[in-house]
Structures are given as C-alpha cells and as structure tokens.
Structure 1
Amino acid sequence: MSLFAHAMRLHRQYPDDPLPRYGEPLPDDASHPPRRRIPEPEDRRLVGADVAAVLDAYFANPMSTPEELVHAFHHLYPPSNSNQHVAAAALRADRQRVQETGRWLVRHSTDRCSVDVGLALLAHAWSAENVPLVQTIGLLSRQFGPRAAETLRGRGGTTDALLWLARRVTIWGRVHTVEALLDLGGAADRWLLRHACDGSPLDGYFAGTVATRAHLHAAITSPAVDDDLVDHTGRLLAVMTRCHGMGLTIEHYPPARAVLAAHAGHLGRQTPGLERYLNAAVVADHLAELPPDGREWIGADREPILARYLGVLQSDEWSTAVRLMLDRSNEYHAWLAGTTAARLRLRAFDGFGPSADIAPTGTT
C-alpha cells in the first residue's frame, strides 16, 4: 500500500481530527527500523547533492518513469525542501515533468524517502492542484507533517490549506504548521490565538511566539473576548511558565503583566471547567513560587494578580464543580495533587488521591 493510500484510508475514518498515533505504524516500517540512521555528509554543503544527481539522471532520460525513483533514495541522506541542490535539479528539468513526477511519488510511492523527494519537487514546481496531495500526506504527522507544512508555506492562497492541516496534525507536524501560519496574520492569527496549543509537550516550542506574533496582548485586552480565546490564553500562559530551554517564557514576554491580569479577570466571569481550572492553577502556582529575586518582570502586580487567580480557584462554585471533574486514575491530575494543589492548598483537591489500582507514574 502506498503511504498516501494509507493516509487517505485513515482520514476517511477520522475526517476532522488528527490521526490516532500520527497514522503509525506506516506501511513501510519494515524497511525503516527505528535504529536506521543514514550518516550525514561531513561537508554539509554536499547534503542533497547525491539526491540531485539521481534526479538529474532521471530527468535527462525522457523514457524514465516515476516508478524507477520509488527506492532510488532509500540509502541517501534526506535533504530539506529548501535544499539548493534539489532545487537546482528541479529548475534544470522541464517544469511539467517535475510536477508530474512529484505528484506521482507523493500519491503512489511505497517508500517514505521518495515521498519526501516528491514533496520537495512539488515545492519547487508549485501549483494549487498540489494542495490536496500535500495536505493528505501531511496527516501522517510525525513523518510528513513538517515537510508538508514547509511545502505549503509561502504559497499564495494557502492560509486555508494550512489551517485545514493544522487542525489535523499534532507533535512535530503541529509545530511546523503553526510556525508557517505565524507568517500569515488575519484568519491565521485568530485561529492561533484559540487553538495553536493542543496539549502536546512540544507546545513549549511555539507558545511564546504565538503570544507575541499573533498579538495576544491586543486580543485578550480588547472589549470583544470569547471563551475560546480566554481558554487558550490560559493554556498559553501555563505552557510559558514551564517551557524553559524550549521557547519564550512568561518572564521574558513583555506584556505578561497585562495579559495575566486580563486572563484572571475573564476567568472569574466564566463557568467552572476542568482545563480552565488546571491551567489557572499552574499559572497561580508559578506566581506564588517566584523567588524575591525573580519578580522583576511582574513587580508589584504579582500580589493582586495572584489574589485574583486564587479567588477563582478557591471559590465554592469552582472548587465544588472541579472536585467532581477530577479523575483519580489520571496521572496528570495525581501529579498536580501532590505538587501545585498541595502548595496552593486548593480546596478542589480535598480528599483527592489515586485509585486503589492505579499508581501515577507521569504527568501526562
């Protein structure tokens, strides 16, 4: 089965959501074991030169067919879409043939290496007709999501195409798709401010960038604020409290004070919700635990903002509602109970403990 057919089959089962387990296992897993590593050329300037040589030979022969390329790149180091050698090979060849070859490889190849090359060819011989192909193969988030996002990036009129893909990819595919959307503004910003973070550990790579470049400060302090924006602001802020070494942290986000104050104010006007509560608890705990020499970024605003968060978190309404939503078998809830909730003495966690047959071992 081709990788495209595999993606299409799963997409029919899950048309509006990311594919379970990123669409894995893939049909060609047997020929790509986890420990398989192709050494990178010592001279990085040569990355892609061997792939370009194969393409040059192929395009030089008018009788060659795309089937001949299916396994031609299996033992070669995979170049990026922007690789200059692959780009030059594509530009040296007839554009129509480059498009036809790229489309055939993406749609029919049974080997991921030649699908990658097919995507690269489409990036250098772009046509709007390529969009459905690129979107569909990109649903295999871990393997092709990043390259699919890069292929769509910067192409005229692809905001909708990228948004379609962003709603259906996760992990690294999500990271690259979000990064591509950040260049577009408008409808892309509106989506990013409400949906960019999906709860993946990789959210930390882009949460601060989304907050900055999609203008979170202007959105959350405007008169027109909706629940989706407030909820995702809580997620962004929670991620930014713990993404050290990955991306922009809350301490280095210039409008942090105003955004925190606005979010805390909006939170108090929302109905109780589990994710709302847990994200707010993470943010409040971060503020409460700041050492005296680590408060310069928030200054005198720390106390009133923290008090506003705690006023919601410790209220009878929220405590009672969230207590009924907590799951004793959920490892993240159990971890929060022993850390954040214990430090803040959150009433919602009163009497909370792991179930008799579940021993939490992680935070997810």
Structure 2
Amino acid sequence: MSALVAGRAPAPRTSLYEHVLRLHRAEPDGRLPKGGYPMPDLPQRRRNPGWAEARAAVREILLPLLSEPDTVRAADEIHLRLDELGAYDRHIHPVIAEVPLEDEAAARALGRCLARTGTSTGAVSVGIGLLGRLGEPEDVPCLTVLALLRGFARPAIRALTALDCPSAALAWLSHHAEAPELHHLVDALTAHDDEAIRTWLAAVPVEPRTVGTETARRISEAARLADILRGDPVDTRVLAQAGRLLSRMTSLRDYQAEIVDYQQAVTAYEALVARASQLPPTLDHYATLLSLALDLHSGPSVLLDWRAGQREALLDALESLLTAPAWAAVAAAAHTDPTDPADPTDSTDSTDRIERRRVRWIRGAARQAFAPRTTPPRLRVEVTVRDPADPDTVETRLLIDGRPLVPEAFGRGPANSPEYLLDGGRLRATAEPREVQLAEAYCTEGCCGALRVTICREGRYVVWRNWNRPATLPSRQPPPALPEYRFDAAAYDAEIARAENDHSWAWPARITARLIAAGLRDRPDLLTQWDARLGWVGTDFNDPDTTVLSFTFWPGLAAGQRYENGPWLQFIWSLPDNGTPPEDQAATALQRLATADPKGYAEVRGGSREYAEALGFPWPGRPPPPAPRPPTGGLPRCPRAA
C-alpha cells in the first residue's frame, strides 16, 4: 500500500486477511473455528451517517475509483475516504451489488487488493463485494480465509457460493453448525477425508430439529453429495441419507425451499432415483421416496432446470419402484396393521404415534404424487400433507400452468393454510376487486413481507393482478416478473369449489379444528361473550393429533369497551383427539364455549406477567390461583382504567 495519498499517510496496521490467516495457522490440524474468529479491535468510526446519506456517499466515493488503473492508489483512497465517512458494512454491500462496473479488470484487481491488504472492515467489504461479482477460482482461498472472521462470514460465503459451492458450504457450516455431530462432519470436510465423510453420512441421523433446510443444502454441497451418489458402489445408508437431505431441502419451513438453490439438485435426484431400488423396502425408505415424488409432482422441485421429460421420467421410475411387489407389500402391511386406526388416547411413545400417522399419510400421498398426468390446467390448487415425521405438515400449493407460484414468485414462506385460503372463501372471485394475501414470510409480513394479489371477476374471466411483494427474493435477486393472469371464469369457479370441498387430505384432529373454526365463524358470540377474540384454530405443531384453539382475552370486549392500552392475555385450549368422530368432538367443544368461560380451562400462553397478575391469572410456570369466575351481568373494570 502506498505511503501517501494526497499528503495523508494511512495507518500502518496489519491487514484483516493476515490477521485471520495468522490465527488459522495456529489451529491444530487446520480445524475451522466454531463460529469463526472475532473481529480485532479497530479504531472507532468518526461518525454514523443515516442510511440514505451513507449509501449515496459510498457510491460517490467508489464510482471514480473502480476504474482507476493505479490499483494501490485507489485502494488507499477508499480506505481513507470510507474511514472519514464512518459508513457501516450494511451501507456498503448494497452499493457494491448494484454499482456499474465499466472496467471489470480494474475493478477485479481493486477487489483483490482490498480483500488481501484492507485494514478496515469497510475497505475489506468493498473487496469481498467486488470479488463476489467478478471473482475467479484463484480468489477462493482468500475469500475462504476471510469467511472465518465473524463480521465477514455472510458476504464472503455469498461471494464463495458463486465461485465454489463446496467451499462456501463448509465455511457456512463452520459458523452455523451447533450440533456436535455436525462438527465431526466439518472436521472431516476440512481434512478432505472422503472415508470419514461417507462414514458420517452413513451413520449420523438427520433430525429435523438439528438439520434444517439450509443446513441440509450446505451439507450436500460441502460433501459433494451428487458426486458420491454417482460413484460406485454407494452404501445404502448413504443413499437413504441422501434421500432425507433432498427431502429436507424441499421444505418451506425456513422461508425458502433450499432445493431451488442447490446447484446439483437435478444431478442428485437423477442419481438417487437410479439407485433407489438398492434401498431395503422399509416404511422409512418408502416415506422418503414418496416425499420426493410429492415434490417432483407439484412442489418447489418443479422449478429446477429439467430437460424435457426428465422430471416426469423420475416420477415414473419412483412409481414403478413403489408399486413393485416388495415395496407394495410395505404399504399393504401398513394399511392392514391391526393397530390402525390407532386409539389416540393410548400411551404408546411418540415414535409409534409418528409411524401410525405415516401409515395413514401414505394412502393419500401416493394417490396425489402418482395421479394420471394430463396437460396442466391454467390454475390448480393442491393441499399437500408432508411426511408426518417432519413437523412441517401441510402446504397449499397454487399451480399456474403447472408451476408452483409461491416458491417461484415469493420464496419467503409457504402459501397460507388451506383453512385461510379455502375455508374462508378468499380465493373466490366477485365483481368487487379484493386483495388477498396468498403467502406471508415466516417472520410476519411486517418484517419480510408477503405475497398479495387482487382478485376480480371481469365478464368471462377471473383476473389476478396488482401483485404486491418484496422487491427481492431471499437470494437478493429480483423475483421473476408477474403478469396479469386471466382465467376462464367457469373453470376457475369449478377449481376453487373442488379445492374447497376436498377434505381428503385432513386427519381427524385437523377436521375437528376446521369444524370448530366454522362454528365460530357462524357464531362469533361464543367467544366474545367471554371478552375473548379468536386467534386461530389448528393442530398442535408437535402433536398433530391434538386440536388447538388460540384466543385473546380483552377486558371490555363484549360490551364494546375494550381498553386499547389495557392488559390482555393470550390463551391456548388444547383438545386431544379422543377417538370419537370429529363432528362430535367439535360439537362438544362449541357447546362448552357456549356454556363455560374458556379462561377457566385454557392456559395462559402470551401477554406479560404484569398483565396476568393484573387480571388474576397465573403466568406460566407459577402455581395457578383459583380459576376466575364467568362474568355475571356486567364486565370487570380494567385495573389500568381506574
């Protein structure tokens, strides 16, 4: 780095790259540090400009320097001017992603200089951003080192992903892997020990709570799973693990279906299905293969870059395998299990209950996945239940011309539940335009947005227009353009009516929940008479055989005198399936709501300890006081209103 820039001398500090490299060389056996290295102590920023001001200033600083032929002079000037500005990394990354690059060779050289010699986070962030856009394979080692520093992990991994997915995935796992089993994998990957990697894949369970959707993708990338599946021979345990990892990547639980970002997905699918007959025919393997078929049929995997007819051929191969005698016997044995249907009140452990749910699930899932294929209709609404072994159970799939709309156009969460979209009649078209929320980000619309559309009937057509969604996908790429969709009105009405009346996907507790919700739509007074407002009705996430009703207690609600700033509490009422028909269970629940205050038998789950004490209810974890009495002839006065 030059000694002077316009008469100013940059501080002679060690570059951040050298700082990390020195720390890593001291690691035994070259192991990657759990969670990365902390940032060194750096001088405090001189000021903290606002968001818009900082971005504009960063752009003004960088534009004339990105094409500067004197790379060292440009790097020194960026150091000094960013230091004077006091911009944070979050101001710099968006500018680098969109700033025009007139001389790519000069910008690439500048990026390399800043990444290797930068002594401030701002300067190194510029270097990483430029290499993320213009980097070449020779830049992978430098970015891999910088990814070990906590402050640079995310941008460095993003840059590495475009250049070397396995290196990016390994860096990601070293920062995000929490389970001890994953650290063993990281060590094996760092040592390039192929035998240890295969041993890990064969022996370590992939549990939903420890291996989420992104972790499944990163494991597959780091371990080069597609290459392993194409090798010979392949351990059947590795083959089964590969199926579980692919299936996990199709889940929409963690904002997006990671399968669409897995660059080797098509290769892995093809290699797995080609060898699937080597798997022993067990219920677990049957469920895994059926889950893959469901996603190939109508899930996010439809969006992969398939050759003509390739996806359909994989579905045909899976259907042929699962209907072969040995595999069909697995399903037949499950269907004739004398313990099925199981008594939901029995005391069998959770593993047995999951297996029984799987038995019931297989019947409908197979019909859906292997339904006769025809030319896809303009609109198709499918409710899909995932493998009960995975807590992510129900998806509403909106298919336009055979392509799943929500993962392609939104990517931040699944479509809203069938109860919301179908039971509430929200997809019906009327002459009055109506905006409908099709999907919401898992963190709520107020945080990361939602997918909304206006639905209107116009003569012979139903029109979907005026789309409202975030400007980018989770990958930070702009989403594909959404046109105005026009549907034949008669065909549209028929499809919505079919979907609304098709309850074949629902199990008893879910049917009970839907019937309770319908009853409360017809008679909202069942809750409001107790100063309660309905939150939602569904099934317990961890125990799908239990119906759950959520409501909020607002003192004064029944009399129209709710105190906006007064205390409130959220209650949860759990109703385990008792084996009687769902219609009877729902009727009993509604009758109880009509005659007894639910605050006396539901549990407090939300609000605050202060609110609970003010309203005379126990906060979770404390011994309960006497149950509150139902209001008689009046409403209790809110303590805060005194």
TM range, smaller chain: 0.3 to 0.5
Q: Which has the higher contact order (CA 8 A, sep 6+)?
A: 1
- TM-score relative to the length of structure 1: 0.47
Which structure has the larger Rg? 2
Q: Which has the higher helix share?
A: 1
- TM-score relative to the length of structure 2: 0.30
Q: Which has the higher strand share?
A: 2
